[in-house]
Amino acid sequence: MFQTYNKSVEYLYSLQASGIKLGLTNISRLLDLLDNPQKGLKSIHVGGTNGKGSAAAMVSSILDKAGFKVGLYTSPHLVNFTERIRINNHEISESRVAELTDFIYQKIEGTDLARDITFFEFTTAIAMLYFLEQGIDFAVLEVGMGGRFDSTNVVDPLVSIITNVSMDHQYYLGKTIHEIAFEKAGIIKKGGIVITAITQPSVLSSIHERCLQDGAALYRVGRDIKGRRMTDGRVDYYGMKNKYSDLRLNLLGRHQVTNAVIALGAIEVLKEKGYEIKQEAIYEGLESTYWPGRLEVVRKDPLVVLDCAHNPAGIKTLRDAISNGTFSFNRLFLVLGIMMDKDFRSIISKLAPLADKIVLTEPKMDRSASPQVLYEEIKKHHKEAEIVGDVKEAVSLAISLAQREDMVCVTGSIFTVGEARGLFVAHSL
**CATH number for the 296-425 domain, one of 3.40.91.50, 3.40.640.10, 2.70.98.30, 3.90.190.20?**
3.90.190.20
Which of the four pLDDT bands, split at 50, 70 and 90, describes residue 15? Answer: very high
In the chain, what percentage of residues exceed pLDDT 70?
99
Segment 110-148, tens digit of pLDDT: 999 999 999 999 999 999 999 999 999 999 999 999 899
pLDDT of residue 113: 95
Strands 303-306 and 296-299: antiparallel
Q: How many Cβ atoms are within 10 Å of 326's Cβ, its own excluded?
A: 16
Q: List every span in the chain annotated with CATH 3.40.1190.10.
A: 5-287
Which of the four pLDDT bands, split at 50, 70 and 90, describes residue 172? Answer: low
Strands (E), 48-165: 70-73, 85-87, 90-91, 138-142, 159-162
pTM of this prediction? 0.94
Query: Which three-class secondary structure state does DSSP give residue 236?
Result: strand
Q: Which CATH superfamily is domain 5-287 in?
A: Mur-like, catalytic domain (3.40.1190.10)
Segment 178-197, tens digit of pLDDT: 899 999 999 999 999 999 99
Tell me the average pLDDT across 168-178: 74
Distance CA 259, CA 59 (A): 10
DSSP 225: B
**Nearest residue to 180 (alpha-carbon basis) of 313, 293, 54, 53:** 313
What is the secondary structure of 329-366 as a DSSP string? Answer: -SSEEEEE--BTTS-HHHHHHHHGGG-SEEEE---S-T
Half-sphere exposure of 372 (CA within 13 A, CB side): 0
Q: Are 294 and 54 in contact (CB under 8 A)?
A: yes
User: In the sheet that 332-336 helps form, which strands lie side by side, from edge to edge?
Assistant: 296-299, 303-306, 407-411, 332-336, 357-360, 385-387
Q: List every span in the chain annotated with CATH 3.90.190.20.
A: 296-425
Phi/psi region, residue 215 (left: phi>0; alpha: psi -120 to 50; beta: rest), is: left
